[in-house]
Structure 1
Amino acid sequence: MHEAKNTQRAVVRIGFDGRVHKTFRGPDAEKRFANEVRVLKYLERRNCPFVPRLLEYDPQTLKIVTTNCGSIVQHISDEKSQQLFEELERYGVRHDDPYPRNITYRPSDGQFCIIDFEFAEILDPDAEDLEQDEVAAPDATPIHYIQWSGCTDRGKVRPNNEDAFLAMLLDKHGIRYLGKTGESHVEDADFIFAVSDGMGGERSGEFASRIAISRITSLLPGKFFLSDLQFAAYSSTILGELFARIHHDMLELGRYDPACRNMGATLTLAWFRRGRVFFGHVGDSRLYYVPAEGAMEQLTMDHTHVGWLRRQGKINEREARYHPRKNVLSQALGAGHQYLKPQFGMVQCQPGDKFLLCTDGVIEGLWDRALEEMVRHPPSNDPDWNHAAHIVRAAVAECGRDNATAVLVGVR
């Protein structure tokens, strides 16, 4: 680690992965540690974009780990500095030292940021208590069982399959890989499902999607032991750290191995935890939510210009499908992208709800209306309950130019 600061009050080191490690010491160290943790949690719940994200904290060692917000600015106008601290107050926090020494510049997205919150003040403590109550609110209807199926196919044209999918159970004993189909009681266990579409030519695309999937199994298990309140409050941080690590690993592989240069992957992940689904996403694979009552909803955004055009209502589904630049990604893991901003979210689920994760090979073969119909009304004569295979086979039959992968999950 590189030591960035060593004062009477704290030691700050930067890890090789870029994360910031801050250890409090000196007068009132415990109090300052607790306040910074409290303020950073509060700002994350309010989605403040220009402060560090709290990744880890240890009350025993008085150490926190945060995302890196860049270097201290050397030159910034008084007006800009004042505007930044005023903006912080609109998020409900007043900094005790509103001067440029606590302002950094993050080159990844061109953002000025504010750091060091050990003496900061939350302006409305009652609002903090209310937000925590909302995070901890119980689920309306308990979920008892989860059922899943997964399938991947290389299609009619591609010589190899660059897609991959994951079905995994996580409990106090560790992880357990799930089969292509199955059903399980959800008590005392989390379930994680993901799809990834690799890119990069030759075999590196196939390698990329498998890297994305394998990193999930190595980086997430320890998060099972977080309380429901902690997990809900930090889900975007947990998933953000996962996506950042995968992105970093792919860029490093591309830097040192010519065969992996420009290697990249999409990743769409759904984490089922006691009646809630926390998801993370980058690229143009998709997560659909098919409620027991109500219309199907695409929860994820396609990270393409064509996807943006469709979200703005400038083109329809048919125009998007046949657009010549539909597969040009604005964001992906690796693939030479220096700036990564994944999408994170959460939905509550009710008995009878279903979720479909799929790569673009499925989307190219089936219109949304056909997808919804197949999810809601799977074939009754499928003895293996592999309804995902039914969707993939239909997509390949209709198109088949790309690899196609689907994971279908139902709760009851």
Structure 2
Amino acid sequence: MLKAAFLSDIGLVRTVNEDSAFVQEQVHGWSLAIVADGMGGHQAGDVASKMAVEWIPQGLLPLDPAASEEELAERLKSAVELANAQIFEFASGRESYHGMGTTVVAVLANPSVAVIAHIGDSRAYRIREGRLEQLTQDHSLVNELLKSGQITREEADHHPRRNVLTRALGTEATIEVDVQSVYWRPGDLLLLCSDGLSGLVEQERILSTVLEESSLEHKVRRLVDEALAAGGDDNVTVVLLENVPQNGEASQQTREAR
């Protein structure tokens, strides 16, 4: 069985929360989680991220409980591409929304495998046996500089252009989606987050918070509080998925971002 909790917060500086999140548990044997971090003026980022978390679930329906891992990866990729087309078309027809876009990290999981799709710098991590493993690679200028050896990890953490993306959902008519499958087992957790968490809170601190003996809801609240304590200069959104070895009733979670 999979359990999930999520929370989105406007932070301490921004006037609009341009992050969006969606979690749906145990639908035809699969759970879906999405984090999107919008960008663009005149609240366009807010619109883009909301469109992403609306269109990706629609693009996945109907889900086949007997679908193979490869089939699900293709379905998730197609759903993200559909969302990209919808956002791009919407923005192209409205001058005030030109150039709007959003990051997205989406996970479709059952108790054995998690299929992850992402664009931008929102991240997915796996927590297993006391270790935090980053599963996604940021589509950002700073990450490109880091991979090419032009800057160090320490320089990357404080680079003045660390928020510049090389890829985003909705800014172009077509988009390349990174898709991967990872295996996980009872006791593992998956963490999805916007850079309002990963950009402000050290990974060691994230890990220690997730490992606390508390409920998933308390853990996501504590992670958001850590980002606020670190300055809270961005919106912050956190999703935790837990792989637990027990049965339970299907449910769907929705929560308004505050």
Q: Which range, TM-score by smaller chain? A: 0.7 to 0.9
Matched positions, count: 244
User: Displacement of 1:149 after TM fit?
Assistant: 1.5
Residue 25 of structure 2: aligned partner:
169
Residue 44 of structure 2: aligned partner:
204
Deviations 1:4-63 (A, max 9, x none): xxxxxxxxxxxxxxxxxxxxxxxxxxxxxxxxxxxxxxxxxxxxxxxxxxxxxxxxxxxx
User: Displacement of 1:331 after TM fit?
Assistant: 0.4
Deviates more, 1:355-364 or 1:251-260: 251-260
Residue 60 of structure 2: aligned partner:
220
Residue 369 of structure 1: aligned partner:
204
- Which whole-Å CA distance do the structure 2 matches of 1:371 and 1:362 have between them? 9
Say yes or no: does 1:390 pair with 2:200: no
Residue 72 of structure 1: aligned partner:
none
Residue 252 of structure 2: aligned partner:
none
- Which whole-Å CA distance do the structure 2 matches of 1:370 and 1:315 have between them? 24
Pairing of 1:2-41 with structure 2 (within 5 A): none
State the identity %: 29
- Which whole-Å CA distance do the structure 1 matches of 2:59 and 2:128 have between them? 30
Residue 70 of structure 2: aligned partner:
233
Say whether the 8 Å CA contact 1:152–1:389 is kept in structure 2. no
User: Displacement of 1:170 after TM fit?
Assistant: 4.9
Say whether the 8 Å CA contact 2:81–2:177 is kept in structure 1. no
- Aligned residue among 301, 306, 329 for 2:142: 306
User: Displacement of 1:262 after TM fit?
Assistant: 0.9
- Which whole-Å CA distance do the structure 1 matches of 2:150 and 2:98 have between them? 35
Deviations 1:130-170 (A, max 9, x none): xxxxxxxxxxxxxxx22222111111111010001111135
Change (3 A) 1:233 1:396: same
- Aligned residue among 92, 100, 107 for 1:270: 107
- Which whole-Å CA distance do the structure 2 matches of 1:404 and 1:299 have between them? 19
Larger radius of gyration: 1
Residue 258 of structure 1: aligned partner:
95
Amino acid at match of 2:181: M
SS in 2 for 1:236: helix
Amino acid at match of 2:103: T
Residue 176 of structure 1: aligned partner:
none
Amino acid at match of 2:44: S
Say whether the 8 Å CA contact 1:150–1:386 is kept in structure 2. no
User: Displacement of 1:314 after TM fit?
Assistant: 4.9
Question: Runs of 5+ in structure 1 lacking a partner?
Answer: 1-144, 173-188
Amino acid at match of 2:66: S
Say yes or no: does 1:333 pair with 2:189: no
Amino acid at match of 1:318: E
Amino acid at match of 1:233: E
SS in 1 for 2:226: helix
- Which whole-Å CA distance do the structure 1 matches of 2:148 and 2:212 have between them? 31
Change (3 A) 1:291 1:310: farther
Say whether the 8 Å CA contact 2:6–2:21 is kept in structure 1. yes
Residue 154 of structure 1: aligned partner:
10
SS in 1 for 2:176: coil
- Which whole-Å CA distance do the structure 1 matches of 2:227 and 2:16 have between them? 17
Pairing of 1:278-317 with structure 2 (within 5 A): 278-292=115-129, 295-312=131-148, 314-317=150-153
Deviations 1:356-377 (A, max 9, x none): 1000111122011111221222
Say whether the 8 Å CA contact 1:211–1:246 is kept in structure 2. yes
- Which whole-Å CA distance do the structure 2 matches of 1:345 and 1:236 have between them? 7
Deviations 1:263-321 (A, max 9, x none): 1011101111241111100000000111126x321111100121123345554443212
User: Displacement of 1:340 after TM fit?
Assistant: 1.6
- Which whole-Å CA distance do the structure 2 matches of 1:404 and 1:220 have between them? 26
Change (3 A) 1:314 1:354: farther
Deviations 1:343-366 (A, max 9, x none): 110111111111110001111220
Amino acid at match of 1:299: L
TM superposition score normalised by structure 1: 0.56
- Which whole-Å CA distance do the structure 2 matches of 1:355 and 1:313 have between them? 29
User: Displacement of 1:196 after TM fit?
Assistant: 0.3
